[in-house]
Structure formats: C-alpha cells, structure tokens
Amino acid sequence: MKQALLIVATLGLSACDVDFDTDNASKSEKVAIEGKGDGQVKFDLPFAKGNIKLPEGMMKDANFDIDGVKMYPDAKIDGFSIDAGTGKDAKVNFAFNAPATPDAVRGYFLEQFKAKGVDARATAQGLEGTSKDGDTFAMAFVPQGSGTKGSIVLQDKARN
C-alpha cells in the first residue's frame, strides 16, 4: 500500500497500489473521491472536479486486495471514499455487505492475513492491523439481516 491510494473508482475498482507523488505538488493539492453502490462517483482532483457513473455492477464486482488478502467471498462493495493531499495522511474507506455472520467474516480476514504474514488482531468490533509496508487498517463488522455490514479504513501515513 505504498502511499496507498486504492483508487478503485477510476481503475475499474481493482484495488492496487498507487504512488501519490507530492515532490512537485503545491501546498494546496488535494484528492477526494467518493463512490456509491449505484455506481455514482464524485471526484475532486487538483486538475479536475466532477461526477461520473460507472457501469452497472462495477462496484459489486470489485476486486479488493490488501497484501494479497481478497474480499470475503461473495461480499459486495457498496461504497468507498478516498481523501488525500499534499503533506497529509491518505485515508481510504470501503463499505461492504457479506453473506455471513460478523464472526465468520472476522475469522476469514484474520486467517487470511495470518496466512499472508500480515499483522492483524481481533478487536471488539472487528479487527485492526498493519500492512507489510507499515500502513494501518481497521475493519468493523455489524450484523445486518442474515449477513454482515462491514467497513474498512486504510490509513497511509504521509511520507516526505
């Protein structure tokens, strides 16, 4: 997650590491992107601002990945936001729905992170950890019907 801006909205929602180079940036540069489950995406970049509509199903079929750990099987991402800028920490938020209990979802992620050698530990509401390159993440899971409503927050510390 080196300078992790998992800019999934503009890159077909396949989570990937993107370097956010601020070496030549002005002090006021900011990046903000927000996507909703219906495919509506708002963006505010140093060079452009606007809205786009992603094709039907793109959010639900997203390819999510943290250090090789994929999204819970059959889970659907229904929203995300990215907030970054010159000299500040980058923050990426995801919301998703999974077809299993919160304990099962937490267990899946803990097992997968352990198998990939990623530091992760259970918390009262979900789990938290640190990626292989030192960025932190937190996940929360709450019951929703027969499944789970989940959230993921990735925090990438500004590096100068």
Calpha distance 156→3 (Å, rounded): 6
Rounded Cα distance between 90 and 102, Å, is 27
Task: Encode pLDDT of 41-79 as tens digits.
Answer: 777 777 777 777 776 666 555 667 889 999 999 998 888
Q: Where are the beta strands (DSSP E) in 1-146?
A: 30-36, 40-44, 49-53, 65-66, 69-70, 76-85, 88-98, 119-122, 126-130, 136-144
For residue 4, the model assigns a pLDDT of 34
Question: What pLDDT digit, counting tens, does each position of 86-142 carry?
Answer: 666 788 888 899 999 999 999 999 999 999 999 999 999 999 999 998 899 999 999
Give the DSSP H/E element, type plus range, for residue 87.
Answer: none
Higher pLDDT, 31 or 147: 147
